[in-house]
Amino acid sequence: MRLSALIATIAAIIPLIALIYFVIVRAIPWLDAELFVNNPLDKPSGISNAIFGSLQLTTAAILAVSPIGVLAAIYLNEYASPRVASWSELVIDVMLGVPSIVVGMFAFMVVVPQLGVSAGSGVVAIGILMLPIVVRTTQEVLRLVPSSVREASLALGVPVWKTVIFVVCRTAFSGILTAVILAYSRGLGETAPLLLTVRGTFAQNWLDFGTTMNALPLTIYSYSGAADSRTLGQAWAAALLLMVLALALNIVVRARTVNSRVA
């Protein structure tokens, strides 16, 4: 049984290692200064606007979604009746399985007519994908907090709402932060919703969510179909930067919370 588990682990890790190796090999030759230069008045060159665009879109989405998701998880875990919690979890699980292209079509038909083809529409689309991740992961983390912790706080006369906020949530803080980062990483790599809502631009866009904005997934998608090797190489470099950015976020969070996880 131990040998079978080891073989299964190796089989799961090999494709990931192969993917990382393949991207690194293709991207390394194109990691130079020109990669980060963008001149919208001339032909497109570089991905600096895509990097900053991805960070702006994903950060705006997670700032909007995190309070809603965390509060919803607290309600379902601490206050909701079993029936309400059961039905809500079913809906959340269904949302987790919805393909991103479906969310993109929804945003295209419902959000874009209101906000136009803009970064704001992209934020809404990405936020819809992030929300169930924050809710479900936070809910599972809150369940890991021992009941004895709640009971001890309530026995000391602490109100329920203070127990939830200052005892339960504080104990599960590292897990809640991990849930937020998982959702952030998911939004950082989404392509289909952005194709239908943001559509990208060669210009730099700073915090103007009423107009189009570029993003790394959009750049990878558009550059990957280029005929010249330079643009194609920049697509591989953009893919590597996207991987490194997501990995760096996870490393920072794990380093920050390694000593404060729920026992």
pLDDT tens, residue by residue, 194-212? 888 888 777 777 888 888 8
Q: Is the pLDDT of residue 258 over 70?
A: no
Q: Which of 64, 142, 133 is nearest to 93 (CA)?
A: 133
Segments forming the whole domain that contains residue 57: 31-35+44-257
Q: Looking at the domain assignment, is residue 6 inside a domain?
A: no
Q: Which of 49, 53, 187, 48 is nearest to 118 (CA)?
A: 53
Q: What is the mean pLDDT of residues 230-235?
A: 83
Give the pLDDT score at 128: 92
Q: Looking at the domain assignment, is residue 263 inside a domain?
A: no
Give the pLDDT score at 188: 87
Residue range 64-77, pLDDT digits in tens: 999 999 999 999 98
Higher per-residue confidence, 43 vs 162: 162
Give the pLDDT score at 159: 87
Q: What span, in angstroms and rounded, lies between the C-alpha atoms of 38 and 36?
A: 7
What's the mean pLDDT when you consider all of the chain?
Answer: 85
Q: What span, in angstroms and rounded, lies between the C-alpha atoms of 110 and 113?
A: 6
Q: Which of 36, 104, 51, 57 is nearest to 212 (CA)?
A: 57
Q: What span, in angstroms and rounded, lies between the C-alpha atoms of 5 and 221?
A: 37
Residue range 14-26, pLDDT digits in tens: 998 998 899 898 8
Q: Looking at the domain assignment, is residue 251 inside a domain?
A: yes
Residue 96 CB partners (closer than 8 Å, separation 6+): 132, 133, 136
Give the pLDDT score at 262: 46
Residue range 106-125, pLDDT digits in tens: 999 998 888 888 888 899 99
Residue range 69-98, pLDDT digits in tens: 999 999 998 888 888 888 988 899 888 888
Q: What is the mean pLDDT of residues 154-173?
A: 86
Q: Is the pLDDT of residue 164 over 90?
A: no
Q: Looking at the domain assignment, is residue 229 inside a domain?
A: yes
Q: Looking at the domain assignment, is residue 216 inside a domain?
A: yes
Tokens (6 digits) for 129: 């994908």
Q: Is the pLDDT of residue 263 over 90?
A: no
CB-CB contact of 242 with 220 (8 Å): yes
In the chain, what percentage of residues exceed pLDDT 90? 22
Number of structural domains found in the chain:
1
Q: What is the mean pLDDT of residues 184-197?
A: 87
Q: Looking at the domain assignment, is residue 174 inside a domain?
A: yes
The pTM assigned to this predicted structure is 0.83
At how many degrees (to 10) do helices 82-97 and 119-143 cross? Answer: 130
Give the pLDDT score at 3: 93
Residue range 139-149, pLDDT digits in tens: 989 888 888 88
CB-CB contact of 246 with 189 (8 Å): yes
Tokens (6 digits) for 15: 């494709």
Q: Looking at the domain assignment, is residue 71 inside a domain?
A: yes
- CATH at 107: 1.10.3720.10
The residue length of the chain stands at 263
